[in-house]
């Protein structure tokens, strides 16, 4: 049996009459670079919300490294190594990038409820936060309020905060959405440099990013899995071109 980092069995989620997630069975191997693509409204973000515990599925199970996490709330899944980024920035406007990343590190280490020590008094944690910020080129702005940062920097912070959770599985929901071309390359370089044992699931519209990054690709249409295969197989698949790329002939 393959060692799955993340696995779902016949996941279903309905919104009234709309089936947003339709019997989705996904298998992501440990250390995989897996992309989920599909046209708008294919149910990609709903799937991310189901996987992370923001939404509860109506049917089906979710297994994280073999453990059933279907009934666990979002924070409990994070502590088991499942982190995510958001399609639309979800940051702390009044906090600085340093505070944001240091917070994520201290929560991961279980010091989040510590009320007597000063924040920043654990040198190893601060050093790690600075190291992460350095990887994302955010050290020069680490003491600015997040609200005043340029969009591209905020986008990078969005990923940096998730990395600071030191995930085993990282879900990236359109990390390059709205990011200008040159900064896209930064994001790609950062993703490429992540440790190989971190499993990455990428939800993305940008085909260049998908094909330069992903080894396996799942194509979703109308809430269901349309097809799945290696990047090369998907690139060749005439059905995918027809439904998704709109280039079918």
Binding site for another protein (CB under 8 A): 52, 54, 73-75, 78-79, 83-84, 86, 90-96, 98-100, 102-104, 106-108, 111-121, 123, 126-127, 129-131, 133-137, 139, 142-143, 161-162, 164-165
202 vs 240, beta carbon nearer another protein = 202
Q: Is 180 exposed, middle or buried (0-12, 13-18, 19+ CB in 10 A)?
A: exposed
Considering the complex, what minimum distance in angstroms separates the CB of residue 106 from another protein? 4
91 vs 235, beta carbon nearer another protein = 91
Total H helices, total E strands in the chain: 9, 11
Cβ atoms within 10 Å of 55's Cβ, excluding its own: 18
CB-CB contact of 157 with 86 (8 Å):
no
Between CA 140 and CA 55 the distance in angstroms is: 37
Between CA 92 and CA 133 the distance in angstroms is: 16
132 vs 214, beta carbon nearer another protein = 132
Considering the complex, what minimum distance in angstroms separates the CB of residue 221 from another protein? 27
CB-CB contact of 217 with 35 (8 Å):
yes
107 vs 228, beta carbon nearer another protein = 107
Considering the complex, what minimum distance in angstroms separates the CB of residue 225 from another protein? 25
125 vs 237, beta carbon nearer another protein = 125
Around 82, how many Cα atoms within 13 Å sit in the side-chain half-sphere? 28
Considering the complex, what minimum distance in angstroms separates the CB of residue 127 from another protein? 5
Considering the complex, what minimum distance in angstroms separates the CB of residue 152 from another protein? 14
Between CA 91 and CA 26 the distance in angstroms is: 29
């Amino acid at each position: 049996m393959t060692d799955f980092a993340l696995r779902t069995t016949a996941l279903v989620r309905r919104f009234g009459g709309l089936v947003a997630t339709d019997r989705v069975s996904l298998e992501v191997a440990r250390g995989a670079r897996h992309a989920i693509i599909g046209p708008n409204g294919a149910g990609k973000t709903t799937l991310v919300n189901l996987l992370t515990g923001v939404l509860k599925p109506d049917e089906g199970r979710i297994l994280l490294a073999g453990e059933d996490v279907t009934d666990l709330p979002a924070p409990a899944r994070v502590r088991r190594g499942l982190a995510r980024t958001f399609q639309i920035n979800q940051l702390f406007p009044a906090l600085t990038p340093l505070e944001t990343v240091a917070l994520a590190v201290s929560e991961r280490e279980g010091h989040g409820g510590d009320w007597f020590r000063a924040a920043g008094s654990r040198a190893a944690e601060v050093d790690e936060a600075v190291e992460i910020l350095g990887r994302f080129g955010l050290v020069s702005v680490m003491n600015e309020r997040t609200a005043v940062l340029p969009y591209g920097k905020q986008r990078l912070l969005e990923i940096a905060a998730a990395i600071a959770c030191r995930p085993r599985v990282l879900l990236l929901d359109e990390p390059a959405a709205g990011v200008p071309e040159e900064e896209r390359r930064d994001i790609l370089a950062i993703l490429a440099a992540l440790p190989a044992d971190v499993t990455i699931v990428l939800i993305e519209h940008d085909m260049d990013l998908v094909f330069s990054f992903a080894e396996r690709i799942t194509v979703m249409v109308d809430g269901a899995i349309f097809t799945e295969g290696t990047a090369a197989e998907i690139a060749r698949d005439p059905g995918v071109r027809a439904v998704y790329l709109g280039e079918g002939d």
